[in-house]
Chain A
Amino acid sequence: MSAAPPVPPRRSHVFPSQRLPRSTPSGVRLTALLVVLMLFLVACTSTVGSVAPTVAPPTSTSSPSAASSPTPSSTPTPVFPTTLTDDESTAVAIQREPRTIVSLTPATTEILFALGLGDRITGKGQDVFLYPPQAGSIPDVATFDSVDVEKIVALAPDVVFAGGNFFTPPDAIAKLRDLGLTVVVLYAPSVDAVYKDIELIGQVAGRTTQADAMVGRIRTEFANVKAAVAGLPTPRVFYELDATGAIYGPADKSFLAEMIRLAGGIPITTGSTDKYDISVERLIEQDPEVILMADAPFGVTAEQVAARPGWKVMTAVKNGEIRPIDDQTVTRPGPRLYRGLALLARTIHPEASIPSAQPIPPVP
């Protein structure tokens, strides 16, 4: 059974997770409520994924500060303690370079490995595809639908990376923070937000140089694919996530829709930013020229797709342009993203030559 869309962006609101100290004297309560309201209003005006590092003044005055370095190209030394803003606009203070990390989303686990921080991950969110394979020895502390708070507390990590937009249950995030753990919430609804998240992870973990290099690499590979598909015809593409009950595809303005557009196709979307299912009627009306089966690993075949009632009128079905695709590579917002884009471009345009880049290897 295919799960819900892995990266479902659905609303532009930002949830402030700032909370009050536990015991407030009754007189302070009203003021506290006002503060909450103000925080909420402030949060609403800022954008998702804003990364605003505010470096605390260095405590020691003797050492020459790295910030005074004249050459901008030189390696910036990560300065701790620092306060960063996560993707839910929560200001998170990082006291020192994290030695132990819990990563609750597979994408963050991948990014940490690619930054050479795999050996610092002491607990991870379950990943059914288990990438990179080295992550297999790290104990699972969360599954798709639950977080084992007790296990995370026992690991006493310096920092916990959680998924936003309900990927990690908000209750669990609140609970972890309540217990004094440092939690950074990540949520990338677009390709640019993925870049920002990689940079944010780099800042939190003290690997800013490597993170910037990784983002540079992904940008270059994206440009290569873009150049390769430039001038090619742009077919209407339906990316089928699941069709066991309703038919699920990319929502409007979603990450997936953006990827299809970058890969040289016109995405057929559900017609709403927070709706993931699409009616057969709308699909027939939109008339896909290519159908990509992200649900192929679950046993869906082109014959089955063509045999569905009503589907035979679609151009893609008439021309037999129904192809399987490895959804995990395309939709996981991590270092393999450009491989996903190249794969998408190659599957949409089988006749074109798309550069195949080597993956960013997980640093051992």
Chain B
Amino acid sequence: MILAGAGLVALVAVLGIGVALGSVAIAPLDTLAIVTHRLFGIDLGRTWSVSAETIVWDLRVPRVLTSLVVGTALAVAGATFQGLLRNPLADPYVLGTASGAALGAAIAVLLPVRFVILGFGLLQGLAFVGALVSIYTVYRLSRIGGLSPLTSLLLTGYAVGSLLAAGLAMAMYLSGAALRQIFSYLMGGFDTASWPQLAGTLPLVLIGCLLIMVRARSLNGLLLGEETAAHLGIDVSRERAILLSLASLVTAAAVAVSGLIGFVGLVVPHVVRLIVGPNARLVLPLSALGGAVLLAFADVIARSVGDIPVGIVTALIGAPFFIVLLRRARTGYEL
């Protein structure tokens, strides 16, 4: 409870800092006035310029909110994949999602078509489709062989991911002047965040995460092993397929808007488990909160040191913090 409270306080704090800070200095009172004006229609005296309003309301607020949504998505998807695959190194991208999304984005950059509908361009569309198609392919292929389902899933994911990565490398080699755009997608970031984009992403992530959390019991059961889970009355293959689809959907929605941001999905669930133990009922919501705060905070830092890719910051803050936690863990840590 205390942890959740602290998390919520941090969430509000990062929301405030994220909206107040940017490359253009806007008085904190003006920022507050703009937000209350747009949110509640209350006018506290119009002292700000039109451009300040655009900066705060159309650039910063959607950006901070998008980073929160993407952080939530990655952390919940990461916790789900780790539990499903019973593998501590699993993250949202482990089954080829990242390569699929990146290849989709690269193809979008190379196609001579440009349009934007409701904040989503071809790049976001193809990244989303690429992520889903790749994970569907992995899932179908993994069910053919005679290996145990988990091993087969992981190895097929690796193989398909490598294949797609080769395609991506080829696309990058052929891309000429467009290379920079593909590269910036691979590094991840929230430059394109906007209200329509947020409106498209938020429902997918929110519904996906809630449906996963409803199935926390299945996830707990699967963690104990297939046989035990079956004895607990869980339809193992059905639950696995559902959780896999939900986690993939949430991941695809996240990577479509933000590009590939590493580390959040891998480390946040581990940090949460180190603190509260392995119960998915706690791990999932706290991961959601932790992922949101970490990514939004990382984006604030990334913006304030000259718009560097946010993935660099998540790893820079996250890795040392994770190592400290690992060293201080008194009891043996398992998934």
Contact = CB atoms under 8 A, between A and B. Distances in A.
Interface stretch (A10-18, A111-119, A129-137, A335-343): A10-18
A171 B191 contact: yes
Given A20-B117, A276-B176, A170 B181 contact: yes
A8 B176 contact: yes
Contact of A10 (B49, B55, B115, B177): B177
Nearest to A276: B176
A179 B192 contact: no
B115 A154 contact: no
Contact of B177 (A4, A20, A174): A4
B192 A11 contact: no
A33 to B, nearest CB: 8
Interface in B156-198: 176-178, 180-181, 184, 191-192, 194, 196
Given A148-B23, A150-B23, A153-B54, A171 B112 contact: no
B24 A146 contact: no
Interface in A1-29: 4, 8, 10-11, 13-20, 22-24, 29
Contacts of A32: 117
| Chain A interface, DSSP helix/strand/loop, else mixed | loop
B192 A153 contact: no
Contacts of A20: 115-117
B306 to A, nearest CB: 8
Interface residues of B, number: 32
A222 interface: no
A150 B116 contact: no
B39 interface: no
B144 interface: no
A312 interface: no
A217 interface: no
Nearest to B194: A178
A167 B180 CA distance: 9
B95 to A, nearest CB: 28
Contacts of B181: 166, 169-171
Interface in B110-126: 112-119, 121
A342 B23 CA distance: 42
A156 B51 contact: yes
A165 B50 CA distance: 31
Contacts of A303: none
Nearest to A44: B112
A22 B115 CA distance: 12
Given A150-B59, A165-B177, A171-B181, A156 B50 contact: yes
A187 to B, nearest CB: 10
Given A166-B177, A169-B184, A179 B112 contact: no
Given A166-B177, A175-B192, A19 B58 contact: no
Contact of B178 (A29, A44, A148, A166): A166
Given A169-B181, A170-B114, A154 B51 contact: yes
B24 to A, nearest CB: 4
Given A153-B59, A274-B176, A175 B24 contact: no
A185 B176 CA distance: 19
Contacts of A153: 24, 51, 54-55, 59
Interface in A260-298: 274-276
A99 interface: no
Contacts of B282: none
B113 A40 contact: yes
Contacts of B318: none
A357 interface: no
B112 A148 contact: no
A223 interface: no
Contacts of A156: 49-51
A40 B122 CA distance: 14
B116 A15 contact: no
Contacts of B52: 154
A51 interface: no
Nearest to B51: A156
Interface in A102-157: 145-146, 148-151, 153-156
A15 to B, nearest CB: 5
Given A150-B59, A166-B180, A11 B112 contact: yes
A19 B59 CA distance: 19
A150 B24 contact: yes
B239 interface: no
26 contacts: A8-B177, A10-B177, A11-B112, A16-B114, A16-B115, A22-B119, A23-B118, A24-B118, A145-B184, A146-B307, A149-B59, A150-B24, A150-B59, A153-B59, A154-B24, A154-B52, A154-B55, A166-B181, A171-B192, A174-B114, A174-B192, A175-B191, A178-B116, A179-B59, A274-B176, A275-B176
**Closest 8 pairs (CB-CB, A-B):** A13-B112, A154-B24, A166-B177, A156-B51, A10-B176, A19-B116, A15-B114, A274-B176
Interface of B: 22-24, 49-52, 54-55, 58-60, 112-119, 121, 176-178, 180-181, 184, 191-192, 194, 196, 307
